[in-house]
Chain A
Amino acid sequence: MNVKLLNISKLTIFSVFVATSLMIGCNGDNANVEDQIEDSVATGNNPDEFNKAKQVIYGIPSPIETAMLMKRAGAKYNQEYLNPTSNAGNYTTTKSMALNLGVYSTDLSFASMFDQSQASIKYLATTKKLADDLGILNAIDKTIITRMETNINNRDSLMEIISETFMNSNSFLKENDRAEIAAIILAGGWLEGLYVGCKVAQNTASNKELIERIADQRLSLNTLISLMSEYNTDPNIQAVLPDMEKLKVVFDKIQTSSSKMEVVEKDGKSIISSKSEVKVTTEVFNEICKTATEIRSNIIK
């Protein structure tokens, strides 16, 4: 009996040890209290300490932001540029489902941004299906389609619903240790925005702003590659990352120069001012669009 009790006692100690280790492992930053006090005193909130961030977050443009940027740059809605919802049944692997959830999220944002009510509902139903297939449906409000139908003529409300849905899916994945899937969804959404931007620019006479916006995507692509590289041991990331790096090789052909940034106040608003020159030749622009189209074709097939 004593032996049994001793075993339980050992088990208790072991359990507490394991649990504590798990907690420390999950947070990854819990030094002991004394160390933290010493560290805090030593740092004294010195601005230099901003160089040693505990956590680095890579912000990729969300599908909503991408659609907004393209519309602002003069893009027009064309259903033919979007991935048909009938393709949704073709996606059976985690990688293809995640990529196309991103693709359809951007298409949904485009449709909503351009007041395409019926298309918005169709794309929402499709994103919901893929979210279900990926096991993240619980993150999505079950009444979302009803809410969307109720607000179909109110673009601000629609954008709010899409933003909320994207936020819930994104956070659900991160909380459930599936952040690499969230990264793949973002990659799919970003690429769809680039592809649609290219299609619109190629079919629009006055496309200077659109081309500038597409050239700007070199900045987001760098961030996207940094984000994906965080999970480079994941097989799905390993399968997607080379395509992004291939695009980067083309984007790197864009020549840029920039002056120092400064903040100026104008009419009560802060403007981050700097002179920047970005040279995109027709050849480089066409190569970006050709590469994006090839990668996208493989994703949506």
Chain B
Amino acid sequence: MRKILILSVIVLMIAALPNVADAQCKNFAKKICKLELLPYVHDGIYNATVLSEGETAELYKTFYSGQEYRITICGDENLPPIQFQVLDAERNVLYDNKKHQYAKSFDFKLESSKQLIISLQVQTSDELSDQILSGCVSVLVGFMNIENSFKQD
């Protein structure tokens, strides 16, 4: 009976691992990534997930004209670089951080409001290994507070 109890506890602990990973991912987004947004105000939406090498995720979001935005992507330090692209609704590439030494942030504003797609991919490691690296990846959006914003021409 005791063994069954111990086993049950072990099973529950293993089953809870994804939640632990999620909680760590949240802390990572909050403590590390959010700092990259400064001085932009975080919009309060938490977008973070565990990705492995080669895996992709996409954020669909409307960005409004006249508003200054910063998109920040960050990943666990053990992960290879993360490539992110900003695409229009027809998937034309507007920005690719690979052309900017895998920059973590992109600051921009729009002349007219649009839905954009933020597409990110964890690059594959150059090192030969049986182990696939995986870790938390977070994409956060911030906007400039009105008083600090530059005027639209």
In the bound complex, do residue B46 and residue A23 qualify as a contact, i.e. CB atoms below 8 Å apart?
A: no
User: Which stretch (A44-52, A90-98, A121-129, A244-252) binds chain B?
Assistant: A44-52
How far apart sit A160 and B40, CA to CA, in the bound complex (Å)?
10
Q: B109 touching A271 by the CB < 8 A rule? A: yes
Q: Are B85 and A271 in contact (CB under 8 A)?
A: no
The answer to the question of B32 belonging to the interface, with a C-beta cut-off of 8 Å to chain A, is: no
A53 touches B119 (CB 8 A): yes
Across the interface, name the chain B residue whose C-beta is closest to A222: B115
Tell me the complex Cα distance, A62–B107, Å: 19
A51-B91, A55-B57 known; A11 vs B7 contact (CB < 8 Å): yes
Does the CB pair A61–B62 fall under 8 Å?
yes
- Shortest CB–CB separation between residue A301 and chain B, in angstroms? 27
B44 near A162 with CB under 8 A, answer yes
A12 and B7: CB pair below 8 A? Answer: yes
Chain B neighbourhood of A272, CB < 8 A: 63, 86, 94, 108-111, 114, 116
Interface string of A1-45 (1 = CB under 8 A from B): 000000010011001101110110011010001001101110111
A274 at the interface (CB under 8 A from B): yes
B116 contact set on A, CB distance < 8 A: 272
Query: Which residue of the partner chain, among B10, B45, B58, B91, contacts A60 with CB atoms under 8 Å?
Result: B45
Q: What are the interface flags for B1-32 relative to A under an 8 Å C-beta threshold, 1 for contact and 0 otherwise?
A: 00110011011001101110011001001100
Quick check: is A231 within 8 A (CB to CB) of the other chain?
no
Q: Does the CB pair B56–A50 fall under 8 Å? A: yes
Q: A71 contacts the other chain (Cβ, under 8 Å)?
A: yes
**How far is the CB of A168 from the nearest CB of chain B, in Å?**
8
Contact mask for chain B residues 123-150; partner A; CB cutoff 8 A; 1 contact, 0 none:
1100000111000000101010110001
Q: Scoring A residues 253 to 270 as 1 if CB is less than 8 Å from chain B, else 0, what string do you get?
A: 000001011110011011
**Total chain B interface residues with beta-carbon distance under 8 A:** 79
Q: Is the CB of A261 within 8 A of B92?
A: yes
Contact A170 B45 (CB under 8 A): yes
**Do the beta carbons of B41 and A36 come within 8 Å of each other?**
no
A59-B47, A163-B43, A167-B45 known; A36-B52 Cβ under 8 A: yes
A55 x B58 contact (CB < 8 A): yes
In whole angstroms, what is the CA distance A222 to B61 when docked?
10
> What is the bound-complex CA distance between A41 and B121, given in angstroms?
14
> What is the count of residue pairs linking A and B with beta-carbon distances less than 8 angstroms?
229
Q: For the complex, what is the distance from the CA of A15 to the CA of B130, rounded to whole Å? A: 26
Shortest distance between the CB of B112 and any CB in chain A (Å): 3
- For A171, the chain B residues whose CB sits under 8 A away are 26, 29, 46, 48
Looking at the complex, which one of B46, B64, B106 makes contact with A174 (CB distance below 8 Å)? B46
Our pick among A57, A262, A269 for the contact of B108 (Cβ within 8 Å) is A269
Question: Which residue of A156, A223, A275 contacts B112 across the interface (Cβ within 8 Å)?
Answer: A275
Any A CB within 8 A of the CB of B72:
no
Task: Indicate whether B36 reaches chain A with its CB closer than 8 angstroms.
Answer: no
User: Separation in Å of the B149 CB from the closest CB of chain A?
Assistant: 8
Smallest CB gap from B124: residue in A:
A40
Shortest beta-carbon distance from B106 to chain A in Å: 7
Q: Is A299 engaged at the interface, CB distance under 8 Å to the other chain?
A: no
> Is residue A216 contacting chain B, with contact meaning CB distance below 8 A?
yes
CA–CA, A27 and B30, complex, Å: 21
Chain B 25-80 interface residues, beta-carbon cutoff 8 Å to A: 26, 29-30, 41-68
A: which residues have CB within 8 A of B?
8, 11-12, 15-16, 18-20, 22-23, 26-27, 29, 33, 36-37, 39-41, 43-45, 47, 49-65, 68-69, 71-72, 155-156, 159-160, 162-168, 170-171, 174-176, 212-213, 216, 219-220, 222-223, 226, 258, 260-263, 266-267, 269-276, 278
6 smallest CB-CB distances across A and B, nearest first, come from A59-B61, A276-B112, A166-B44, A40-B54, A19-B14, A26-B18
- CB pairs A–B below 8 angstroms (13 shown): A43-B124, A45-B83, A45-B123, A53-B58, A57-B58, A72-B146, A162-B44, A167-B46, A170-B45, A176-B19, A213-B64, A226-B60, A269-B108
